[in-house]
Amino acid sequence: METLAERVAHVRDRVAAALAAAGRGPGEATLVAVSKNHPAEKVREAIACGLRTFGENRVQEGLEKMNMVGAAAEWHLIGPLQSNKVRKAVGRFALLHGIDTFERILQIERAASALGEAAKILLEVNISGESTKHGFAPGDVASALERSLELPFVRVDGLMAMAPFDCPGAAARPFFEGLRKLRDRLRDATGAGLPVLSMGMSNDYEQAILEGATHVRIGTTIFGSR
């Protein structure tokens, strides 16, 4: 059984190798360690291994761990945001990855405006078209983005997606390429910077980095099975 430190080192090596293979610089992909269903103690261990950014897919669970772990970590919400959790999440999570309705964006705008601090979000895109997946249909992202650009307290930093369940490893790569190209088209059309591409998980993060992922969300490979 490998230790957490060994697993972290292994993932870091593979991230670095994928960045080099893509001709990208060494710091160009942020490792978001997905700590959902693992206790705060594990997060502390991971911080001791040098990790800083943690992903949670439920607001309540994330807030509890934030309170236990303190300021040594940055927290991202990677799962869907329910409307009754918007006011709890805004101002606490540094980045909201899974935003997929304009109604939710308006709620985030109201909550962030009350705090006087813009909220950073990603638009989740359903690149696989699977009915079980969250996300805007690719054709609906442009209008959501355009309308979001009018809102002073919402900052759309980029896009997020998940590969189809039945496409592990290299089979996922065309979907990641599709998300990058969609981002490039939106950037050209709107002038928004959209620097962030959150894509790639334990089974496919190297493929995602080859296609330009700036944030890979890795749970199982770091923390073991949940």
Task: Tell the smallest beta-carbon distance from residue 223 to ligand PLP (Å).
Answer: 8
The neighbour count for residue 114, using CB atoms within 10 Å, is 12
CB-wise, 36 or 110, nearer to ligand PLP?
36
Tell me, rounded to whole angstroms, the distance of Cα 43 from its chain centroid. Answer: 18
Single-letter code of the amino acid located at 173: R
Single-letter code of the amino acid located at 105: I
Task: Tell the smallest beta-carbon distance from residue 198 to ligand PLP (Å).
Answer: 8
Task: Tell the smallest beta-carbon distance from residue 219 to ligand PLP (Å).
Answer: 3
Instruction: Report the residue number whose CB is nearest to ligand PLP.
Output: 219
Beta-strand pair 154-160/196-198:
parallel
CA angle 2, 31, 216 (to 5 degrees): 105
CB-wise, 205 or 210, nearer to ligand PLP?
205
- By CB under 6 A, name the binding residues for ligand PLP: 34, 36, 57, 78-79, 201-202, 217-221
CB-wise, 141 or 213, nearer to ligand PLP?
213
Task: Tell the smallest beta-carbon distance from residue 113 to ligand PLP (Å).
Answer: 27
- Do residues 32 and 54 lie in contact, with contact meaning Cβ atoms separated by under 8 Å? yes
